[in-house]
Amino acid sequence: MARLLLLCAASGLLLAAVTTIPPPEEAARMARYVLHSCDWGALATLSAQEGLRGRPFANIFSLSDGPPGPCGGSGVPYLYLTDMEISVQDLEVNSNASLTVSLAQTPYCRKHRYDPQNPLCAHIIFVGSIVKVNDSEAGLAKKALFSRHPEMESWPKDHNWFFAKFNITNIWVLDYFGGLKIVTPEEYYSVKP
């Protein structure tokens, strides 16, 4: 198993130099590609906090859909959360959220001199809810997150961290001029990044 992971990681490094992003007509594949390329995203909740109750609240979270490289992406955005975090407190009242990930955090947009707001600097907006993963999925979530965010393993145990996933119900892709493209979860999960 360790050899397979090393092979996938090495393949990923070699392919990264020659891999191009999916074409605009492949919106589902673009969504998978962008999520797998990103290590973090902006999670928006409806605030449950005094003074902000019911208002939109966005926060940055580390995420992963699997180990880096072409062999790792499941398409499921996993997160490592604690009830001490303000957005998680919002989610305890209303688990609905949106998650935005963008190629702006990768070298791609800088290389092409695309402003983060330029549609060619692709970004994906997921809508759905945050749910704790069950015991059978916790190992997969841990592997996905700790492979990209090794610091997480040393975070304070007394914060009661838990693995969660973004349960996707709607997907919007902005990767070209002409407006958003809608991708269904079924389309999204049926393609590889």
Lowest mean pLDDT among 5-9, 16-20, 147-151, 185-189: 5-9
- The yes-or-no verdict on residue 65 having pLDDT over 60 is yes
In a domain, 12, yes or no: no
pLDDT score of 26: 97
pLDDT reported for residue 72? 60
> For residue 183, what is the domain's CATH number?
2.30.110.10
Band the pLDDT of 19: cuts 50, 70, 90: low
Domain contains 33: no
- Structural domain contains residue 65: yes
**127 vs 18, more confident:** 127
In a domain, 102, yes or no: yes
Task: Dump pLDDT digits (tens) for 90-140.
Answer: 999 999 999 999 999 999 999 999 999 999 999 999 999 999 999 999 999
Whether 29 maps to a domain, the answer reads no
* Number of compact structural domains in the chain: 1
Asked if the structure places residue 48 within a domain, the reply is yes
The DSSP code sequence of the chain is -HHHHHHHHHHHHHHHTT--PPPTT-HHHHHHHHHHH-SEEEEEEE--STTTTTSEEEEEEE-BSSSSSTT---S--EEEE-TTSHHHHHHHH--EEEEEEEGGGSHHHHHHT--TTSTTS-EEEEEEEEEEPPHHHHHHHHHHHHHH-GGGGGS-GGG--EEEEEEEEEEEEE-STT--EEE-HHHHHTS--
Domain range for residue 87? 40-190
